C-alpha cells in the first residue's frame, strides 16, 4: 500500500489480515452499502477541501495582525498539500471498519468513545476538540438517530450478532474519528482544526440522513427487516425549512454586505475615472476617422488579453514590450477584419491605464534590481485581467492579486542581487509565480489566493533563515571579539609573570606554547575573575618559582613541598586543554631534570647528599 508523507494507514496489520483471510470477505450487500456510502463521503470530502481555501482566506482577510494572517495562509498551504493523503486515510479507515464487522475480534474491534478521566490531564486543545466533536455527534444523533438505529438493527441481522450504534461504521462518532486520524499530520493550530471540523460537519455530516436512507434502502431491497417503520417523512421538510431560513438570513446579510462593498468599489473607481479623463484614447485602433466605432465587450477584451498573455516576451526582451501599444495593434487587426473600428469600453480603458500607471511606478523605482524588474513586468497582463474582472482590486488593500504584487515588489526591494540569479531562491520563486500566472490564469482569480499563500510561506521561511544566519554571524563576531580580549588578557598575565625572570628556555617555550592555551581556554569559558583562572595563574607562578635560583636556606624544603601540587595542577590544566600527551610527558621529564639540578645545587652548597630527595621528587 502506498503511504504518503507521515500519513500511516490505520490498523495496517488488521487490513492485511482482513485482505488475506477468507473470513474477512464481505457479503455482497455489505459491499454495496460500503461502496455507496464511500461515494457520498468522498464527494463530501471534496466539497470540504474545495471550500476550505475560501473559508481560510476570508478569515485571513479579516485577521487582526500579520502573525495571525500568516498562520492562516500556512494552514491553507498545508491543507492543500495533504488533501489527497487525508482523503485516502479517511477512506482506508472507513473500509477497515467494514472489514472488522465480519472479522470480529475484540482485539481488532473499533474502540468506543472513551469517558473523560481527569487523571489523564488532557491538554486544553484536546478538550476543545473533544467538545466540538461531541457537539457534532450529538447534533447528528438528535437529527438522524432514528434512521441510524434502524441501520444498526439491519446490520445486526445481516451479521448475526448484536451491534450498537457505536459499532456502526457509518455512525457520526466513527466518521469523526476517521477524519481526525486521517488529518493528524496537519501542523495547524487548534483554532484552524476547529474550523476544519466545522467544515466536516457542514459538508459531510450534514448529509447523514441521505447516507442512512440509501443504506437502509439497499438492505430493505434484500429483505432485511422491511417491516421496520421508516424515518418520519417530515424530516425532509424540516430540513428544507431550516436551510431556507439559514439561507435567507445569510443571503440577506450577504446581499447587504455585497451591496455596501459594491457601492464602496464603485465610489473609488468613479473617483479614479475622473482623474483618468485626460489620458483616454491611448488604446484605440489606427483607422480612418470616418470608420464606424463599436465598443468591444469585456468578454472579448479578456480573450484579446489571453491571446497577448501567450506571447509575453522573456525577461531579456521586456524593454520592447508596451502593453497599450500591443493591445492597440491587436485592436487594429480586429477592426480591419470586421470593417468597424473596435474600441475598448471607457471603464475597461480606465482599468488598462491604471494598471499601466501602476507598473510604470513600480518599474521606475531605482531600488528595484533590473533583473527583477523584467520579471515583475511580465505580470502586467494577468494583473490587468483580474482588475477588469474585479474592480475591487483598486479599493481593497487585501485583494489577493494586489497583495501578491505588493509582496513580490517588497521582497524584490530587499534583494541583494546575485551574480547567478538563475540559482537565487527569490528570483526562482518569483519566476515560478510569473510563469504559473502566464500559463494557467484564464478567468479564475482563485489562483492568486493559492500563489499568495505559497509566496508568504516562502518569504516567512526565507526571513527565518536570514535571521538565523544573522544570529550566527553576530555570534561569530562576538566570539572573535571575546577571543581577542581573552588573548590580550593572557598576554598581559604571561608578561607580568615572566618580566625580569631568568628562566630555562624550555620552560619559557612551554609557557608560551602550552600553558598560554590553558589560560586562554579558562578565560573564555570562565572569565578572568573565576577560580579556574586564578588556579591557572597560580600554577604558572609556582612553575616559574620552581625553576629559578634562590638563596633562601629553606628553598629545598619549599620545593619539595611544592612539586606534587604543581605537577597535579599542570597535568589537569593540560588535560583540560587537550594538549598532546606525548609533548606533556616530554616536558615533565625535562622539568624533573631542572628540579633535580636545583636540589643538586642546594646539596653542594650545604655539602649534603641528594639521593633521598631524588627518590621523593616527581614520584
Mean pLDDT of 108-128: 52
Task: Say whether both 210 and 337 belong to one domain.
Answer: no
Nearest CA to 401 among 455, 363, 439, 361? 455
Mean pLDDT of 440-459: 89
**Contact between 403 and 452 (Cβ < 8 Å):** yes
Q: Is residue 261 domain-resident?
A: no
The reported pLDDT for the residue numbered 203 is 93
- Alpha-carbon span 534 to 522, nearest angstrom: 9
The reported pLDDT for the residue numbered 160 is 87
The reported pLDDT for the residue numbered 282 is 53
The reported pLDDT for the residue numbered 423 is 56
Please name the residues in contact with 156: beta carbons below 8 A apart, sequence gap of 6 or more.
162, 163
The reported pLDDT for the residue numbered 69 is 83
| Backbone phi, psi, residue 296, to 5° | -90, 140
The reported pLDDT for the residue numbered 335 is 76
What length is written for the chain? 619
Task: Say whether both 286 and 380 belong to one domain.
Answer: yes
218-232, 407-421, 465-479: lowest mean pLDDT where? 407-421
* Cα–Cα distance list, 435 to 131, 344, 352, 371, 428 (Å): 45, 27, 21, 15, 10
Task: Say whether both 443 and 508 belong to one domain.
Answer: no
C-alpha grid cell, residue 206: 450534514
The reported pLDDT for the residue numbered 283 is 54
Q: Is residue 489 domain-resident?
A: no
| Backbone phi, psi, residue 53, to 5° | -60, -50
The CA-CA-CA angle for residues 508, 509, 514, to 5°, reads 110
Number of domain units in the chain? 3
The reported pLDDT for the residue numbered 120 is 42
The reported pLDDT for the residue numbered 253 is 42
Nearest CA to 186 among 62, 96, 66, 56? 56
Task: Say whether both 357 and 409 belong to one domain.
Answer: yes
- pLDDT greater than 80 at residue 614: no
C-alpha grid cell, residue 426: 527569490
Task: Say whether both 376 and 283 belong to one domain.
Answer: yes
- pLDDT greater than 60 at residue 351: yes
Where residue 534 falls among pLDDT bands split at 50, 70, 90? very high
The reported pLDDT for the residue numbered 20 is 42
Q: Classify residue 364 by burial, with Cβ atoms within 10 Å: 0-12, 13-18, 19+.
A: exposed
DSSP bridge pairs for 223: none
Mean pLDDT of 304-313: 83
Where residue 89 falls among pLDDT bands split at 50, 70, 90? very high
Q: Is residue 487 domain-resident?
A: no
The reported pLDDT for the residue numbered 167 is 87
Mean pLDDT of 589-606: 80
The reported pLDDT for the residue numbered 394 is 82
Mean pLDDT of 170-195: 91
Instruction: Kindly state the helix (H) or strand (E) to which residue 314 belongs, with its residue range.
Output: none
Burial per residue of 460-472, b for 16 or more beta-carbon CB atoms within 10 angstroms, e otherwise: eeeeeeeeeeeee
- Alpha-carbon span 218 to 43, nearest angstrom: 20
- pLDDT greater than 80 at residue 119: no
Q: How many other C-beta atoms lie within 10 A of the C-beta of residue 366?
A: 5
Q: Show which of 407, 441, 459 is a domain's final residue.
A: 459
- pLDDT greater than 50 at residue 237: no
**Contact between 281 and 329 (Cβ < 8 Å):** no
Share of the chain above pLDDT 90, in %: 31
Mean pLDDT of 315-326: 67
Q: Is residue 254 domain-resident?
A: no
The reported pLDDT for the residue numbered 348 is 84
7-16, 412-421, 525-534: lowest mean pLDDT where? 7-16
Q: Which residue has the cell 486543545?
A: 125
Domain that holds residue 574: 500-616
Task: Say whether both 232 and 283 belong to one domain.
Answer: no
| Backbone phi, psi, residue 501, to 5° | -95, 140
Positive/negative CA dihedral, 315, 319, 325, 329: negative
Task: Say whether both 442 and 507 belong to one domain.
Answer: no
Q: Half-sphere exposure (CA, 13 Å, Cβ side) for 486? A: 20
Q: How many other C-beta atoms lie within 10 A of the C-beta of residue 425?
A: 12
Mean pLDDT of 74-94: 92
Task: Say whether both 188 and 283 belong to one domain.
Answer: no
373-382, 383-392, 419-428, 478-487: lowest mean pLDDT where? 419-428
E strands along 225-298, which residues? 293-296
**Contact between 17 and 100 (Cβ < 8 Å):** no
Q: Half-sphere exposure (CA, 13 Å, Cβ side) for 273? A: 14
Mean pLDDT of 28-34: 92
Give, to the nearest 10 degrees, the angle between helix 66-102 and helix 28-61. 170
Q: Is residue 386 domain-resident?
A: yes
C-alpha grid cell, residue 277: 479623463
Mean pLDDT of 45-64: 86
DSSP bridge pairs for 295: 343
C-alpha grid cell, residue 179: 477524519
Task: Say whether both 329 and 421 belong to one domain.
Answer: yes
The reported pLDDT for the residue numbered 260 is 45
Task: Say whether both 333 and 413 belong to one domain.
Answer: yes
Q: Is residue 26 domain-resident?
A: yes
- pLDDT greater than 90 at residue 25: no
The reported pLDDT for the residue numbered 30 is 92
- Alpha-carbon span 593 to 507, nearest angstrom: 12
The reported pLDDT for the residue numbered 493 is 92
For the chain, what is the largest distance between any 2 Cα atoms, rounded to a whole number of angstroms?
136
DSSP bridge pairs for 344: 296
- Alpha-carbon span 106 to 424, nearest angstrom: 58
Instruction: Kindly state the helix (H) or strand (E) to which residue 342 belongs, with its residue range.
Output: strand 341-344
- pLDDT greater than 70 at residue 312: yes
The reported pLDDT for the residue numbered 358 is 87
- Looking at mean pLDDT, say which of 205-214, 275-284, 332-341, 360-369 comes out highest: 205-214
Mean pLDDT of 310-328: 71
- pLDDT greater than 60 at residue 236: no
Where residue 556 falls among pLDDT bands split at 50, 70, 90? confident
C-alpha grid cell, residue 609: 647528599
Q: Rounded mean pLDDT of the chain?
A: 79
* Cα–Cα distance list, 513 to 136, 421, 501, 575, 577 (Å): 75, 48, 18, 15, 12
Positive/negative CA dihedral, 71, 74, 78, 80: positive
Higher-pLDDT residue of 458 and 619 is 458
Task: Say whether both 52 and 183 belong to one domain.
Answer: yes
Share of the chain above pLDDT 70, in %: 77
Q: Is residue 271 domain-resident?
A: no
The three-class DSSP label of residue 112 is: coil
- pLDDT greater than 50 at residue 222: yes
Mean pLDDT of 49-65: 84
Distance of CA 169 to the CA centre of its chain: 34
Q: Is residue 595 domain-resident?
A: yes
Where residue 384 falls among pLDDT bands split at 50, 70, 90? very high
R_g over Cα of the chain: 41
- Looking at mean pLDDT, say which of 63-67, 207-211, 366-370, 545-549 comes out highest: 207-211
Higher-pLDDT residue of 603 and 300 is 300
Q: How many other C-beta atoms lie within 10 A of the C-beta of residue 37?
A: 21
- Alpha-carbon span 120 to 474, nearest angstrom: 45
- Alpha-carbon span 485 to 165, nearest angstrom: 75
Task: Say whether both 343 and 438 belong to one domain.
Answer: yes
C-alpha grid cell, residue 271: 473617483
The reported pLDDT for the residue numbered 220 is 92
Amino acid at each position: 500500500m502506498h503511504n504518503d508523507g507521515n500519513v500511516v494507514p490505520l490498523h495496517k496489520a488488521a487490513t492485511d489480515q482482513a485482505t488475506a483471510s477468507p473470513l474477512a470477505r464481505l457479503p455482497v450487500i455489505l459491499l454495496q452499502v460500503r461502496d455507496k456510502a464511500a461515494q457520498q463521503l468522498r464527494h463530501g470530502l471534496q466539497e470540504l477541501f474545495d471550500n476550505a481555501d475560501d473559508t481560510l482566506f476570508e478569515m485571513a482577510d479579516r485577521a487582526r495582525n500579520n502573525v495571525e494572517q500568516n498562520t492562516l495562509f500556512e494552514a491553507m498551504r498545508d491543507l492543500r498539500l495533504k488533501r489527497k493523503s487525508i482523503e485516502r486515510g479517511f477512506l482506508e479507515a472507513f473500509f477497515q471498519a467494514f472489514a472488522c464487522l465480519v472479522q470480529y475480534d475484540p482485539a481488532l474491534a473499533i474502540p468506543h468513545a472513551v469517558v473523560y478521566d481527569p487523571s489523564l490531564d488532557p491538554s486544553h486543545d484536546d478538550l476543545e476538540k473533544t467538545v466540538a466533536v461531541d457537539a457534532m455527534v450529538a447534533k447528528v444523533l438528535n437529527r438522524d438517530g432514528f434512521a441510524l438505529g434502524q441501520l444498526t438493527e439491519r446490520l445486526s441481522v445481516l451479521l448475526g450478532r448484536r451491534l450498537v450504534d457505536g459499532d456502526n461504521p457509518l455512525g457520526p462518532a466513527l466518521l469523526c474519528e476517521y477524519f481526525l486520524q486521517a488529518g493528524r499530520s496537519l501542523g495547524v493550530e487548534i483554532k484552524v482544526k476547529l474550523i476544519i471540523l466545522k467544515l466536516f460537519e457542514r459538508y459531510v455530516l450534514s448529509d447523514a440522513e441521505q447516507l442512512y436512507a440509501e443504506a437502509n434502502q439497499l438492505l430493505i431491497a434484500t429483505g432485511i427487516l422491511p417491516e421496520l417503520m421508516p424515518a418520519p417523512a417530515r424530516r425532509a421538510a424540516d430540513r428544507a425549512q431550516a436551510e431556507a431560513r439559514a439561507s435567507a438570513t445569510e443571503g440577506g446579510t450577504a446581499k447587504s454586505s455585497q451591496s455596501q462593498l459594491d457601492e464602496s468599489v464603485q465610489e473609488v473607481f468613479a473617483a479614479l475615472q475622473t482623474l483618468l479623463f485626460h489620458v483616454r484614447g491611448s488604446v484605440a485602433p489606427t483607422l480612418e476617422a470616418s470608420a464606424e466605432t463599436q465598443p468591444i465587450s469585456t468578454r472579448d477584451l479578456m480573450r484579446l488579453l489571453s491571446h497577448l498573455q501567450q506571447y509575453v516576451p522573456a525577461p531579456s526582451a521586456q524593454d520592447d514590450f508596451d502593453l497599450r501599444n500591443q493591445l492597440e495593434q491587436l485592436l487594429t487587426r480586429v477592426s480591419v477584419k470586421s470593417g468597424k473600428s473596435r474600441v475598448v469600453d471607457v471603464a475597461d480603458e480606465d482599468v488598462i491605464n491604471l494598471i499601466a500607471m501602476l507598473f510604470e511606478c513600480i518599474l521606475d523605482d531605482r531600488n528595484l534590481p533590473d533583473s527583477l524588474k523584467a520579471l515583475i513586468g511580465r505580470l502586467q497582463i494577468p494583473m490587468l485581467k483580474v482588475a477588469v474582472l474585479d474592480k475591487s482590486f483598486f479599493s481593497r488593500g487585501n485583494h489577493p492579486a494586489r497583495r501578491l504584487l505588493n509582496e513580490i515588489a517588497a521582497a524584490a526591494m530587499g534583494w541583494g542581487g546575485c551574480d547567478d540569479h538563475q540559482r537565487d531562491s527569490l528570483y526562482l520563486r518569483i519566476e515560478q509565480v510569473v510563469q504559473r500566472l502566464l500559463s494557467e490564469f484564464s478567468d479564475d482569480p482563485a489562483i492568486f489566493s493559492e500563489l499568495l499563500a505559497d509566496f508568504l510561506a516562502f518569504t516567512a521561511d526565507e526571513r527565518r533563515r536570514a535571521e538565523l544566519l544573522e544570529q550566527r554571524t553576530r555570534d561569530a563576531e562576538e566570539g572573535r571579539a571575546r577571543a581577542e580580549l581573552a588573548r590580550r588578557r593572557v598576554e598581559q598575565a604571561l608578561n607580568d609573570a615572566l618580566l625580569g625572570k631568568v628562566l630555562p628556555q624550555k620552560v619559557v617555550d612551554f609557557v608560551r606554547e602550552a600553558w598560554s592555551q590553558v589560560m586562554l581556554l579558562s578565560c573564555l569559558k570562565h572569565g578572568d575573575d573565576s577560580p579556574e583562572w586564578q588556579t591557572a595563574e597560580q600554577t604558572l607562578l609556582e612553575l616559574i618559582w620552581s625553576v629559578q635560583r634562590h638563596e633562601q636556606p629553606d628553598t629545598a624544603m619549599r620545593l619539595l613541598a611544592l612539586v606534587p601540587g604543581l605537577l597535579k595542577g599542570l597535568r589537569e590544566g593540560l588535560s583540560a586543554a587537550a594538549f598532546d600527551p606525548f609533548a606533556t610527558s616530554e616536558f615533565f621529564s625535562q622539568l624533573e631534570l631542572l628540579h633535580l639540578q636545583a636540589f643538586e645545587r642546594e646539596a653542594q652548597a650545604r655539602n649534603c647528599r641528594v639521593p633521598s630527595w631524588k627518590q621523593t621528587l616527581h614520584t
